[in-house]
Structure 1
Amino acid sequence: MRRAQQLGTGIGWRPEIAGAVEAMPGIDWVEAVSENLCPGHLPDSLVRLRERGVTVVPHGVALGLGGAERPDAGRLTALAERARTLGSPLVTEHIAFVRAGGPMTASHRLEAGHLLPVPRTRDALDVLCENVRIAQDSLPVPLAVENIAALITWPGEEVTEGQFLYELADRTGVRLLIDVANLHTNHVNRGEDPAEALGELPLEAIAYVHVAGGFERDGVWHDSHAHPVAQPVLDILTDLASRVAPPGVLLERDENFPAAEELEGEVAAIRAAVEKGRVSGRASVAAPSARPASPVSAAPSRAARDETGADRAARQRLALAQTALLSALVAGTPAPEGFDRVRLGVQARALAGKRADVVAKVAPELPVILGAGYRPAFLEYARRRPMTGGYRRDALDFAERLLRDGRPRDDDARRDLREWWLEREGPVPRTRRSGVRWARATGRVLLRRRAA
């Protein structure tokens, strides 16, 4: 495996902090969510950063490489196009599944709207390896995949996270994006030792490192990307940096954006944590070394099968298991055997809350129309209606359901909601000036609320 490109210190680029990112000193590179970019219409901020020589890496969230189905060709084409447009040295995705159901299980397709963990089993590893190789063949630059945070643990897992990641990198040559915040999350939620996980990783495969904030509630750590980076996360980063010089380290922040000075302070703390690890005297750029075989590689029939790809039976078994789990989380079906029902409830509520937050972003008029009633109304809807399409489809379905139920009760709000829905759901726009008209309608709603 070739040594990864040296990226330096970076920050996740988001439209809300674009100005702060551009003005921030010492930023060598940024990462942007791939699905939020249109190659033909890049944000001006990203264009200016690229013109200054700042590297931009597209970070995908929707491929679902850990799912039972093979990666969607259209999504791979889109990710490849963004890499070419940005001139990126690599692209990244997650070791997760994000949808389940469909033809493989003769059931409705369900969307999680979130990254969910894959079981650490031989079936899941076979499928993941094949999916990663399919993606690698479709991309013009190297692929790196990220370990995710999880609230729940699959029953019957056969290997540790470190062994799972080592075997994945060994069998496919894929690079690893190591999120130290996720290692901390899994330590709190699943009792997994982050130092042990780092000790089992193929350090030479690390492409770069993520650092992010979160919070603990009732003994559960939530990887929010909306809070300051906690000291235990920085300690794990220091441990990693004492073992290997990371090619790049990046701060992620997706919500509750603080002032630019606070962001700069977090980046400085990350630099200090890396330096602390470096001066310990043990850090070096790792070279490939022999390791004892993991329990996964001890199964020769699986290794032999890996040369031709995961068999259909493995995909089928994984599909059934993932569909049962996702259905329990988003459709209220019984919890699959072996899962912690309390943790499933926590995860289900988190998924519904995230749906509400994202729909409010992609359709910001809805919280304006519904006011304080938006969130409880959406959570009630989400309990009855799993997401089967994207978030924009979800927003339209939510509005339609409210209208069918004769809601909201306020006549003016119901009329505004109906107008909003018709503008977007009809076969053709009702007016070419719909954007202007809706802006005026939103202004009327705000004026009514102020007058009240």
Structure 2
Amino acid sequence: MQHLGTGIGWRPEIADAVERMPGIDWVEAVAENVCPGHLPESLVRLRERGVTVVPHGVSLGLGGAERPDAGRLTALAERAEALGSPLVTEHIAFVRAGGALTASERLEAGHLLPVPRTRDALDVLCENIRITQDALPVPLAVENIAALISWPGEEMTEGQFLYELVDRTGVRLLIDVANLHTNHVNRGEDPAKALDELPVEAIAYVHVAGGFEREGVWHDSHAHAVPPAVLDILADLASRVRPPGVLLERDENFPEPAELKRELRAIRETVEKGAPTEKGGVAATAASSDAASEASADAPSPSPDEAEEAQETQETQDASQQAGTEPARQRLALAQAALLSALVAGTPVPEGFDRARLAVQARALASKRADVVAKVAPELPEILAGTYRTAFLAYTHGHPMTDGYRHDAMAFAEYLLLDGRLEDADVHRKVRDWWLERSGPAPLSRRPAARLARATRRVLLRR
């Protein structure tokens, strides 16, 4: 497993600081924010200096009931190749539900939601990971996520779930110690027990991040300093195995570079202090890996006939397995659709869930929608001034997200225009102009007059 060292999450807001920061061995970039044909100049410069760049996906929904979307897999593979990455990472989560499997409207969470730790969910996840591994040019590692809510009727602990996942697929793990802390506070799960049960030798690298607690709920914000409790879990993990890489995540509310350097220093020191002895830790892991490599090298190569027979057998097994997961996919689809609908569309809470905790999660999802739309469409908060957030949160009631955040911004503007909620004529005009500029396939200035007229009628302009 490649040694990565100490890294930081690359974000445009701190790109200059990251380039100037000493001791950065590698960075991680959100895959969906990188265009293979137009890489950010900062990432290009980092790569030229020998800094490894790993694409970190957030939209596959590997834990969802549907098989991974071919277009998303292709896009992820393209980013790995464009960045020359040694691996790709994604999450053990579902991000959408509904659609054909449930004959209902497809809903988007806009967030990483936990999968139930059940046999059905594990079977589906294993197949989805195999499909993803086959589509990628480099190895895949998957991340444990933070959660506010627990599924009723779970059959495994997190450690057991991850152990079996690795055993069945060979996938690598991205262990987020901040998420282990979050699940300790929110779900009463013991981080030490999770580390006892999961296969630490499969760890590709580790995430470290901050958050905050409010009313007994820990929010994994990635916008606050790393707390001592998270560093304690990192030390526990480092005492068991030397992680190939450790990375500091920060997504917003970025501090001064000096503060980021301080956190990186604390992370390095924690790993060094917790490093296992050679006899029982790193050396043992390395010896196991070397033995496996030697055994593989000594194994005789199969003949062409044997290789063809093995391929046919594997294809038969894959087809049988795919057919075998269909009932599990159907059951998982219904469960996830019911949960997501309760969170974003106000439908009844499914039996067995904590209603109070689901209400907290629903508010958090609506708040995140408002924040992200404000980033992808910054003109709207500027036009609406102090009324933006109140108006957007009102819009989320009865208007679940069915596509990405950019589509959500357009739908919000239509909602304001069509429902007559903009009493100020100047604000109405500015929202109208913003919507018209973005509603067609070309900018307003290059659109034919007839198309402009049709777009105008669509929003029922009355002013």
Q: Among 308, 316, 340, which residue is 2:321 paired with?
A: 308
Residue type of the partner of 1:75?
A: R
Q: Among 155, 159, 163, which residue is 1:158 paired with?
A: 155
Taking a change above 3 Å as real, the CA distance of residues 41 and 381 of structure 1, as seen in their structure-2 partners, is same
SS of residue in 2 equivalent to 1:56: strand
User: CA–CA distance in 2 between the matches of 1:427 and 1:163?
Assistant: 49
Q: Which residue of 2 aligns with 1:100?
A: 97
User: CA–CA distance in 1 between the matches of 2:363 and 2:224?
Assistant: 19
Q: Which residue of 1 aligns with 2:391?
A: 377
Post-superposition Cα deviations, 1:416-446, rounded to whole Å, max 9, x if no partner, equal: 110000000135322049xxxxxxxxxxxxx
Where do residues 126-275 of structure 1 align in structure 2 (5 Å cutoff)?
Answer: 126-275=123-272
SS of residue in 1 equivalent to 2:445: coil
User: CA–CA distance in 2 between the matches of 1:278 and 1:49?
Assistant: 28
Q: Among 393, 408, 416, which residue is 2:407 paired with?
A: 393
> Larger Cα Rg: Structure 1 or Structure 2?
2
User: CA–CA distance in 2 between the matches of 1:383 and 1:405?
Assistant: 14
SS of residue in 1 equivalent to 2:226: coil
User: CA–CA distance in 2 between the matches of 1:428 and 1:81?
Assistant: 26
Residue type of the partner of 1:315?
A: R
Shift, 1:383, TM fit: 1.5
Stretches of 4+ aligned residues off by more than 4 angstroms: 279-282, 304-307
Shift, 1:354, TM fit: 0.4
Q: Which residue of 2 aligns with 1:278?
A: 275
Q: Would the aligned equivalents of 1:277 and 1:283 in 2 still touch at CA under 8 Å? A: no
User: CA–CA distance in 2 between the matches of 1:256 and 1:345?
Assistant: 25
Q: Would the aligned equivalents of 1:152 and 1:190 in 2 still touch at CA under 8 Å? A: yes
Residue type of the partner of 1:410?
A: D
User: CA–CA distance in 2 between the matches of 1:187 and 1:306?
Assistant: 39
* Higher mean displacement: 279-288 or 36-45: 279-288
User: CA–CA distance in 2 between the matches of 1:394 and 1:226?
Assistant: 24
User: CA–CA distance in 1 between the matches of 2:357 and 2:395?
Assistant: 22
Post-superposition Cα deviations, 1:143-168, rounded to whole Å, max 9, x if no partner, equal: 00000000000000001000000000
Q: Would the aligned equivalents of 1:226 and 1:253 in 2 still touch at CA under 8 Å? A: yes
What TM-score do you get using the length of structure 2 for normalisation? Answer: 0.88
SS of residue in 1 equivalent to 2:282: coil
Q: Would the aligned equivalents of 2:64 and 2:93 in 1 still touch at CA under 8 Å? A: yes
How many pairs does the alignment contain?
Answer: 416
Taking a change above 3 Å as real, the CA distance of residues 101 and 406 of structure 1, as seen in their structure-2 partners, is same
Q: Among 332, 335, 340, which residue is 1:318 paired with?
A: 332
SS of residue in 1 equivalent to 2:37: helix
Identity %: 78
1:117 aligns with 2:114: yes
RMSD of aligned residue pairs (Cα, Å): 1.6
Q: Which residue of 1 aligns with 2:374?
A: 360
Q: Would the aligned equivalents of 1:126 and 1:306 in 2 still touch at CA under 8 Å? A: no
Q: Would the aligned equivalents of 1:214 and 1:223 in 2 still touch at CA under 8 Å? A: yes
Q: Which residue of 2 aligns with 1:447?
A: none
SS of residue in 2 equivalent to 1:308: helix
Which ranges of structure 2 fall in alignment gaps of 5 or more residues?
A: 290-316, 448-463
Post-superposition Cα deviations, 1:174-202, rounded to whole Å, max 9, x if no partner, equal: 00000000000000000000000001111
SS of residue in 2 equivalent to 1:104: coil
1:402 aligns with 2:416: yes
Shift, 1:308, TM fit: 2.0
Q: Would the aligned equivalents of 1:305 and 1:311 in 2 still touch at CA under 8 Å? A: no
User: CA–CA distance in 2 between the matches of 1:229 and 1:8?
Assistant: 19
Shift, 1:283, TM fit: 3.8
